[in-house]
Amino acid sequence: MKHFFHGLMAIALSLQLAACASSGGSETAPPSTETQAVDTYQIGVDDLVQVSVWRNPDLGVIVPVRPDGKISVPLVGDVVAGGRTPDVVAKDIQERLTAYIRDPQVAVILTELRSHEYLSRVRVTGAVRQPVSIPYRQGMTVLDAVLAAGGVTEFAAPDRSGLYRKEGESTTNYAVRLDRILNRGDLTTNFKVAPGDVITIPERAL
């Protein structure tokens, strides 16, 4: 049973843009996985959480986190979710279920990030038809975000685009070859985005 855990790395847009300016547009290796950047999200009150137990569908629930920071799970009862990451909550539930079923396999997935709606957005700026701030959705890619912004303008330099991501105390610039994505079908740099990412498409030099 493969576990899927999703989290959020919160960031303010102003910090993102300041880091973008200081980075000088440097290129780095692409992010290896989506969870590399988002697995430290701490669940908040009112987030919607899905609990799944392998081979025990009756124990699965989709519940909001209550004001006291807890969720209710069949057999287990109340479990603290607020202020904890999904994998920690899953391990807690899994340990408690060992008293009732053999070798439980538990996955905890955030289905709606209600407590951090602003910080869980993806922003597209620069030479696009309509700069946007859109809600993050699982599986969203750079291309999805750019299309939501109406695509690039005739003044864009799409192959010099960048995806800026807060990682710890620093911000990393991942080079995005947007022209290759749009016009050649080359999806090598069509990275999965993470909550808080900023995608910037610069204008070409005249």
pLDDT tens digits for 11-33? Answer: 333 333 334 443 444 444 556 44
Confidence at 118, pLDDT banded by 50, 70, 90: low
- Average pLDDT score over residue span 172-197: 94
Higher pLDDT, 16 or 89: 89
Please enumerate in sequence order all residues whose Cβ is within 8 A of that of 24, keeping only pairs 6 or more positions apart, or say none. none
List domains and CATH numbers for the chain: 13-36+117-201 (3.10.560.10), 48-112 (3.30.1950.10)
Report pLDDT for 30. 58
Other beta carbons less than 10 A from residue 58's beta carbon? 8
Res 106 pLDDT > 50: yes
Report pLDDT for 136. 87
For the stretch 43-74, pLDDT in tens is 888 889 999 999 999 999 999 999 889 999 99
Three-class secondary structure of residue 42 per DSSP:
coil
Check the CA dihedral 196-85-90-71 and report its sign.
negative
First to last CA, the chain: 54
Confidence at 115, pLDDT banded by 50, 70, 90: confident
- Average pLDDT score over residue span 160-165: 95
Report pLDDT for 15. 33
* DSSP-assigned letters across all residues of 33-77: -THHHHTTPPP-TT-EEEEEETT-GGG-EEEEPPTTSEEEETTTE
pLDDT, averaged across the chain: 82
Confidence at 42, pLDDT banded by 50, 70, 90: confident
Nearest to 34 by CA among 135, 162, 138: 138
Confidence at 102, pLDDT banded by 50, 70, 90: very high
Q: What is the pTM (predicted TM-score) of this model?
A: 0.52
- Average pLDDT score over residue span 81-86: 92
Report pLDDT for 67. 86
For the stretch 128-155, pLDDT in tens is 999 999 988 888 999 999 999 999 999 9
Q: Percent of the chain beyond pLDDT 70?
A: 79
